[in-house]
Amino acid sequence: MNPNGEQVLDLRCVNCGWGIERLFVQYSPGNIRLMKCESCKVVADPYIECEFMILLIDLILHKTKAYRHLLYNMLNLEASDVKGILWKSSLINFLLDAYRFSILKGSKNDLDSSKGLLLTIWTCGEIFVNVTLGNLMFVSVVFLGTRILLNSTFAITRYRGILLAILVSSYFKLFLMAIMVWEFPLSVLFIIDIFVLSSNCVALQVLTQSRIAECFWVCFSAHMAKFFTIHWLPTLLSGSC
């Protein structure tokens, strides 16, 4: 917030990450002029005039410019509606994780079979508990790893922004919806996991301005903790009982 009580957005140049006051000047509807960055002296955000498909392709190619546009200029972390986006992203990711878990555990066949209402409720409850615990473990490791990754001189304490960046950069999970229509081998699930991991690394690097190797270990540790909690921990607990 500025002294006048107006909200100040944290806009960035997609080329160098330098903060910029405004991305464009609009003279009339449909007539705009893109602003240049004071640091690198080039157009701060050319994605403003690009189609969404171009942005999506660059996101798939893991270009840091596209992630800066997405996280800072498109889904600005200081925007007032960021909480709504965060809740919607969390819900979508949770549902996709639940569907992925049901595929690996063969729960889909159990739900389709006529073995009684109690078994269906038990299966749904198991999916809900396992996925919830897995995601809580994932978020905890991301926050802990990011806290360790960031030095005391780094001024990012917006864990909400970190969580939003991780959730939004997990857009590869949307390809799970194709499995609902067409049959794919289970190896496709792990290919999607690899793309999600790499996308999370780039998003965390853009947000924290850290080295890609450090971001990789944070994201890899979080994904491994989530995988262990969802798939291995229930088996270990049931075996020890």
Average pLDDT, the chain: 81
Q: In the predicted model, is pLDDT for residue 155 greater than 50?
A: no
pLDDT for 81: 64
Mean pLDDT of 190-203: 94
Is 142 found in the same domain as 36? no
117: tokens are: 């209402």
pLDDT for 176: 87
Residue type at 49? E
81: tokens are: 């509606």
Is 108 found in the same domain as 60? no
Nearest CA to 213 among 94, 221, 18?
A: 221
pLDDT for 233: 65
Mean pLDDT of 167-194: 87
pLDDT for 153: 43
What is the value of pTM for the model shown? 0.82
In a domain, 3, yes or no: no
Of 74, 108, 125, the position where a domain reaches its end is 74
In a domain, 1, yes or no: no
Q: Determine the structural domain holding residue 110 and report its residue range.
A: 82-240
Q: Which residue has the higher pLDDT, 60 or 112?
A: 60
Q: In the predicted model, is pLDDT for residue 87 greater than 90?
A: no
Q: In the predicted model, is pLDDT for residue 161 greater than 60?
A: yes
> In this prediction, what percent of the chain has a pLDDT beyond 70?
81
